Amino acid sequence: MHNAILALRQRELALSTKPFAARGGKVKRCQRCLLPVPDCMCAHTPAPMADAAFLFLMAKGECYKPSNTGRLIADVVKTNFAFTWQRLEPQQALLDLLNDARYAPIIIFPHEYAEPARCIHNLDSVPDSRTPLFIMLDGTWREARRMFRKSEYLQHLPVLGVRPVAQSDYLLREAAHDYQLCTAEVGVEVLKLAGDTASADALTRYFKVFRRSYLKGKPHLTDKNEQAENGLM
C-alpha cells in the first residue's frame, strides 16, 4: 500500500486481540479515508507527487484516529514510512531506515525544544546525493514532546523548525498554543522549505477537502469552520 499510515493501521488491527472501540466507533466509515461513508473523500485523493520522503513515528493508537492528518501527507508524497513509536525497543526496520545512506533524516520539531547545535533552518546541508527524510512525530502535543525527548535513537539527528505565518485552520482538535499546526499543515510548510510548491499546494487543497468533509459530521464545530473559511479566525 502506498500510504504507510493506512498500512500501519491494517497491521495494528490484524495484531489486535480485541475489537477496536473508541468514540465514534459505531459510525460506518470508509476504510480508505476513515470518514463516514456519506462524507467519503476518496474521489479527491491526489496522485503521489512529492519527491521528498516522510517518516511518521506515531503514538500508540494514533493511526486509528479519523482526525489524524498525517495520512494526507502520505497520500501526496511518493515515499513514506510509518512506525508505532517505541521508546526502548524500536523496530529494526526503523533503525535500518535511519541509517540508510539514500536518506538524510531530519526531525521536524520546534527549535525551542532542541539544543542549538542540532537546529537547522534550511536544507542546504543535505547532500544532493541524499533524499531528505522528514521525521514527523505524530500524536498529541504531549505525546510528540515525549517522543522527541525520550527517543535515544533520534538524539543525533538535526532538527528543522517550522514557523507558521498564520494560526492553524485545523479546528478538529484543540492546540496547546495558537502557533501549533496539525500534521498536514506542518507537511505543507516542510514541502515549501524543500522547494516543492506544487506538492505543498496540492496538500493544502487536499487538507481543505478533508477538513470540510470531516466537519460535516461535527455540527458543534461548523460555526468555527465557517468563520475560518471566511477569514474571521
Q: What is the pLDDT of residues 111-136, one digit of tens each?
A: 999 999 999 999 999 999 999 999 99
Residue pair 182/172 in contact (Cβ under 8 Å)? The answer is yes
Please determine, for residue 231, whether its predicted confidence score (pLDDT) is greater than 80: no
* Angle formed by the axes of helices 197-215 and 219-229, nearest 10°: 140
Which residue from 146, 5, 133 is spatially nearest to 62, judged by alpha carbons?
A: 5
**Are residues 77 and 50 in contact, defined by beta-carbon separation less than 8 angstroms?**
yes
Residue range 1-13, pLDDT digits in tens: 689 999 999 999 8
Greater pLDDT, 210 or 226: 210
Dihedral-angle region of residue 232 (phi above 0 means left; psi in -120 to 50 means alpha; beta otherwise): alpha
pLDDT band at 230 (very low <50, low <70, confident <90, very high): very low
Quote the CA–CA distance of 54 and 103 in Å, as a whole number. Answer: 10
Backbone angles phi, psi at 103, to 5 degrees: -120, 155
Which of 25-34, 43-52, 53-62, 110-119 is least confident?
Answer: 25-34
Identify whether the C-beta of residue 94 lies closer than 8 Å to the C-beta of residue 217.
Answer: no
C-alpha cell at 28: 460506518
Cα-based angle 6, 132, 94 (whole degrees, multiple of 5): 50
